[in-house]
Amino acid sequence: MLSIRKIGAIGRTYRHLNRYRQILAVLFKYGYGDLIELLKIDQYIEIGLQLISRKPRERLDKLSRAEKVRMALEELGPTYIKLGQVLSTRPDLVPVDFIRELSKLQDKVPPCDFDSIRQVVTRELKQPPEDLFDYFDSNPMASASIGQVYKARLKDGDEVAVKVQRPGIRKIIEVDLEIMLHLATLMERHVEEMALHRPVKIVEEFARTLEKEIDYDTEAANMDRFARLYLREPTVCVPKVYHELTSARVLTMEFISGIKVSHVARLEEEALDLKIITARGADLILSQVFVHGFFHADPHPGNIFVLPNNNICLVDFGMVGAVDRQTREDFVELIDSVVHRNETRAAQIILRLTIWEDEPEFARLEKEVADFMGRHLYKPLKEIQVARLLQNLLDLTSRHRLRIPEDIFLMMKAFAAVEGVAMMLDPDFDMVAQARPFIEQVKLARFEPDRIASDVVQLTAELSRFVHTFPRDLLEITRKIRKQKLSIQLAHQGLDRMLATHDQISNRIAFSVIIAALIIGSALIVISKTPPFIYGISLIGIIGFLAAALMGIWLLIAILRKGRL
């Protein structure tokens, strides 16, 4: 498990000083100096701020805020690149324009030396690679911020791909996450606009996501689950996991020698049927979502391989999504209401599928849904682009402050990615027509006898629990009212900033009192001619006056830096 602690003391902050300095320098470079001032970081790492160069930064005025954030994350390194990639899948946490920009982040870094990789394999699998494998290539096939992939051959002749976690990456991630959490805490405390986006929650959720990604046991479990789902489907391949050679930091899996789906020329050279490949690839993702509710959340061209006989193989199962039966049915109902141009029903389902704090104006939402339908549906179904439709739907929900949950957005992104691959292979492909049988299957499943019986039993059980517990709960409330033990808790919001301001005021008053006391005390010592003397003046009194002057200058600078006396 990742060991992440809050930075609440100066000592712990100083232990992170070098990395903190790098982060702050990048923030200054991309125009976030004002944010640093607002966060009052000087209270924690004054020396760190003094060390940072304040030379005029590059001309970045023409860049948007989202572009600056993306470039800053790229410069900050692996953990922050991963943060951007995760946020690009979270419309419930960040604005739409940031999602578009963060989607451009690439996770490619130079490989580390093989000796350190060998040490990781030896430590995790209890034997060096040369004892475990008949052959282990020292040059990686792929290199990312978290791990590197190597080709190897087992003693029995099986060719495998071995994913090995970079040495020391967990410690780097832990330090970066602790600094992230500290900055997020300061944002919520001092910047109201940032507090609305709940930065602490973002960091905490990111830490949980990253914990899953750097645990290769989780990825192996995902691969096993997909393999079971498609065990009887001969056109779908999932790489086999070699569990005896797998741990939290090393993943050994079957080597796939297929052709990447993006290499269209090679597919044609091998006389593979692009139309069949397109249909099977689309069916694979559609069945994952609408039939199994468990899907590969990152089906970009680099993760899809084509095998002989036009079979499909997915790789890299670090990011997966899951949608329950009710969500799938709601999504299908949304599609059905859009196709039948029922804007009222569509608006109601959008509210059911999204998260919101303040209920939007329904009439305005309904009007925008009708406009959305008009832009997309008064054309042949074959001409409808799913990716553009979903992007406009995301824009619509964002305007009404409706947040789409992570797994629903991952599902939408998976559909858009598959459509992009399909259009590359077969420009005449009709994604809507391909999805129609799956949508009909979900709609008809609600009326199957077994499903109706199951729903009735579940509803009866819930009603029975309510009938049994409600009288008891009502009696308990009545008893507390009678004994005057019923309490109402009020949650105060927005007081943190006011309390912080009061603390600052009281600290300045206390500081001023100390300065005044030093001046008065020093004056009395000088008047009473307390030895020792320097030029006939009491040395202790002079020291007191100097201390008061320094403290007074310090207080004045602190006040001026905040922009007001």
Task: Enumerate residues 6+ apart whose C-beta is below 8 A from 97.
Answer: 64, 66
pLDDT of residue 48: 46
Q: Are residues 465 and 407 in the same domain?
A: no
Q: Are residues 353 and 268 in the same domain?
A: yes
Residue 32: count of CB within 10 angstroms of its CB: 18
Q: Are residues 245 and 378 in the same domain?
A: no
Residue pair 106/84 in contact (Cβ under 8 Å)? The answer is: no
**Which three-class secondary structure string do you get for 428-494?**
CCCHHHHHHHHHHHHHHHCCCHHHHHHHHHHHHHHHHHHHHHHHHHHHHHHHHHHCCCCCCCCCCCC
- State how far the Cα of 201 lies from the Cα of 379, in Å rounded to an integer: 42
pLDDT of residue 383: 65
Range of the domain at 149: 113-166+215-255
pLDDT of residue 277: 94
- State how far the Cα of 462 lies from the Cα of 433, in Å rounded to an integer: 39
Q: Are residues 397 and 283 in the same domain?
A: yes
- Cα angle at 108 between 285 and 67, to 5 degrees? 85
- State how far the Cα of 328 lies from the Cα of 36, in Å rounded to an integer: 44
Residue 76, in any domain of the structure:
yes
pLDDT of residue 302: 83
Exposed (0-12), middle (13-18) or buried (19+): which is 156, by Cβ within 10 Å? exposed
Residue 171, in any domain of the structure:
no
Residue 278, in any domain of the structure:
yes
Residue 180, in any domain of the structure:
no
pLDDT of residue 267: 93
Q: Are residues 506 and 463 in the same domain?
A: no
pLDDT of residue 151: 95
Residue 173, in any domain of the structure:
no
Q: Are residues 310 and 442 in the same domain?
A: yes
Residue 215: count of CB within 10 angstroms of its CB: 19
503 labelled catalytic: no
The last residue of a domain, from among 457, 488, 519 = 488
Q: Are residues 101 and 117 in the same domain?
A: no
Q: Are residues 274 and 422 in the same domain?
A: yes
Domain count, the chain: 5
- State how far the Cα of 181 lies from the Cα of 49, in Å rounded to an integer: 19
Q: Are residues 532 and 478 in the same domain?
A: no
Q: Are residues 74 and 134 in the same domain?
A: no
Residue 5, in any domain of the structure:
no
pLDDT of residue 8: 46
Is the preceding omega at residue 110 within 30 degrees of 0, hence cis?
no
pLDDT of residue 283: 93
Q: Are residues 14 and 94 in the same domain?
A: yes
pLDDT of residue 188: 79
- Tell me the mean pLDDT per 10 residues along the chain, length 565: 51 62 80 70 51 51 81 84 79 74 75 91 94 94 87 94 91 85 81 68 81 88 95 93 95 93 92 93 93 89 91 91 89 83 88 84 89 73 68 82 83 84 86 86 83 82 85 83 73 65 79 87 84 82 86 79 58
Choose the catalytic residue: 176, 215, 283, 298.
298
Residue 412, in any domain of the structure:
yes
Q: In the 8-state DSSP scheme, what is residue 108?
A: -
Residue 172, in any domain of the structure:
no
